[in-house]
Amino acid sequence: MLAAAARTCELSGLSDDARSCYTLLITKFKETPEAQQAEGVVRRLQLKGKTLEFTGPTIDGGDLNIASYKGKMVVIVFWATHARPFIDQLPKLTATMKKYEKYATVVGVNLDADEGAVEAFVEETKLTWPQIFSPNRALRGWNSPLAVHYGINTLPTIWLVDPNGIVTDTSINAENLETRLREVYLPFLKATAKPAGGAN
């Protein structure tokens, strides 16, 4: 019941209430699978305003560290080829990111199990994002270390990280992404602008 209440609060945008329910679940039922998942969710709910440490292997055999994107906004998308809400949001998401590609980049965290399905989907949809995807089949899908660590339970889950590497949102959707990109980048732009009459 606590897990259901926490999830309902989370889906309703009541982050503080959700965190309270999840914390109680962890405290009272520590050894249960629900409590273990709740630990990740609480970690995610506490991310806002913090520097994000985020690394993982990419599907092309490389390694990704979000620190390498400092100076640009980063949109992190947890997704899977079978997640209908993600597929529905993808056209709007890609259109927005194309518009803001000078200022922002996307990092995908794929939660499929089948590498072939991911590659086919990426080719079909012409996705150019780097994709975090484990070479170890046991660490794919919902067992993805990043998904477990941050209690990811909805796809897509979309985060926004500012140019300084600080998490500004962990519950964005394709519809409000452009608004949030503007809100996050404008203060950064003003803060880094050269004073009037300064050197070019």
**Domain check: are 41 and 114 in the same one?**
no
CA triplet 42, 43, 48: central angle to 5 degrees? 100
**Domain check: are 164 and 89 in the same one?**
yes
**Domain check: are 93 and 20 in the same one?**
no
Does the pLDDT value for residue 35 go beyond 70? no
- Written as six digits, the tokens of 45 are 């709910």
Q: What is the count of structural domains for the chain?
A: 2
Contact call for residues 64 and 56 (beta carbons, < 8 A): yes
pLDDT tens per residue across span 38-51? 667 778 888 999 99
**Domain check: are 33 and 123 in the same one?**
no
**Domain check: are 31 and 94 in the same one?**
no
**Domain check: are 161 and 142 in the same one?**
yes
* pLDDT of amino acid 190: 82
Tally of CB atoms within 10 A around 58: 18
**Domain check: are 36 and 53 in the same one?**
no
Q: Tell me whether residue 176 is in a domain.
A: yes
* CA–CA distance, 42 with 155 (Å, rounded to integer): 18
* CA–CA distance, 178 with 186 (Å, rounded to integer): 12
Does the pLDDT value for residue 200 go beyond 50? no
**Domain check: are 94 and 186 in the same one?**
yes
Question: What range defines the domain where residue 109 resides?
Answer: 49-191
pTM: 0.82
> What is the domain-level CATH number for residue 171?
3.40.30.10
Contact call for residues 26 and 35 (beta carbons, < 8 A): yes
Q: Tell me whether residue 196 is in a domain.
A: no
pLDDT tens per residue across span 61-88? 999 999 999 999 999 999 999 999 999 9
* CA–CA distance, 9 with 119 (Å, rounded to integer): 35
**Domain check: are 41 and 122 in the same one?**
no
**Domain check: are 96 and 181 in the same one?**
yes
**Domain check: are 163 and 65 in the same one?**
yes
31 class by beta-carbon count within 10 Å (0-12 exposed, 13-18 middle, 19+ buried): exposed
- The DSSP output letter for 159 is E
